[in-house]
Structure 1
Amino acid sequence: MKSETSPYSFLSAPTALTRGNVTSEVTNALRDAIVSLALPPGSVIDKTQVCEQLGVSRFPVSEALARLQTEGLVDIAPQRGSTVSLVRIADVREYMLIRKGLESEALRVFIGRHDSELIDALHANMAAQRAVAERDDAEAFHNIDIEFHDIIYRAMEFTKIKNIIDSARANLDRARWLIVTPRRLALTIAEHQAIFDGILAGNQTQAIAAIRAHIDAVMVELFAFAREHPEMFADGTSLGADSDSFPFG
């Protein structure tokens, strides 16, 4: 029976499970909890209590944890159980450098070929960003932030680029959650607006500079956070003042 004081009360039990999608639903629930930091880096995952909270057997939970291990979100040690993996700043740096290069090149190819439907979608998205930021709703903002980039990817129809970026998204998003503040939300809106302005102007140089500056700004804050809280990172104590900096510009 599910306890009202369960430490996993933030996990919502799926409402319509079928034999074929139980593991996927459990995986998604745990992934969301890890990315949003409801399950923080280094925390132990009690499979029995997860099963009770979600109303499922141990098998789909074990399978879900195995999947999350391959994504780099969970560590599984024999006889010691499962824990949420610590964030590796070196991995985040590499993923963000890949994203920086891919998004810059995608914008270069895309600028000038967009239509009014894309512009309307981005206008609506920017308005939504400002609305949820005023409410200080970080979770809603996170989803709208993702959608801002996805609108552009969908319009470009560069599915391989989107798939590459999506493959690293969970760990990137988890790292970004560490630095979510009202200030960062406001800065993100301004940085997104700069990207949008470049698209509206049909100016490749302006749009590319804006996306690179956006990614650089996030990484500056993340490195600063990692130096202040090295215990939350697998390689936090190895960060230097200069030698480990992100390739800026």
Structure 2
Amino acid sequence: MPLLELDRVDLGHGTQVVLPGLSLTFEAGERVALLGQSGAGKSTLLAEIRRRLDSEAAWCPQGHGLVPLLSVYHNVYMGRLDRHGALANLINLLKPRQEAWQEIGLLVRELGLEGLLRRPVEQLSGGQRQRVAIARALYQQRSVFLGDEPLASVDPHQALRLLARIQARHTSSIIALHQHRLALDHFDRVIGLRGGQVVLDAPARELTLASLDALYPDAGPSNHEAGVAAST
């Protein structure tokens, strides 16, 4: 059953079209990796998918989207701000709700952030901030996970562990990546963007690292080796 269908739509920012005449269908239950150079249109595509799915999808943006001065707990809690009234959220800012504190504590422990609930995000490393952003998305408890480079700031071992947790908690996932081996080994389908066009759309099992080279013309034929290094 289709999760989402795009039929010859022009996607972009304001009057600037980045992805003209785009047609794609995403099936429910699919795990889709989006690949392509920076500027190829991955973020633009994800923004449109997010707009259309709305509350069905958990969102993990590029750049984390965290509030540096707030604690790990409060940043993760923001994943469910829309489920509580303004007064309840204000009270929680001053005095965390016990139930939420326990639930978020278990979640961040699962992601390797044990003991950091009270720590301001500005004091964390890049990899720790990335995990906080993922925790916030998981805390939303949606059926679909949308991620714009959610694994970019963590080491290969952490990337595998985090991806496993993301996929275990969501029926469907659509994630922009740069780790080629991860895309081939842990996703059902790979969509490749280049120059504002979909130039690759195939089951991951039918692809090889070498077949992804066309997505990165400026990197030369050894580009796929970076994908190996990034995921071993």
TM-score greater than 0.5 by the shorter chain: no
Q: Which has the larger radius of gyration?
A: 1
Q: Which has the higher contact order (CA 8 A, sep 6+)?
A: 2
TM-score by length of 2: 0.28
More strand by share: 2
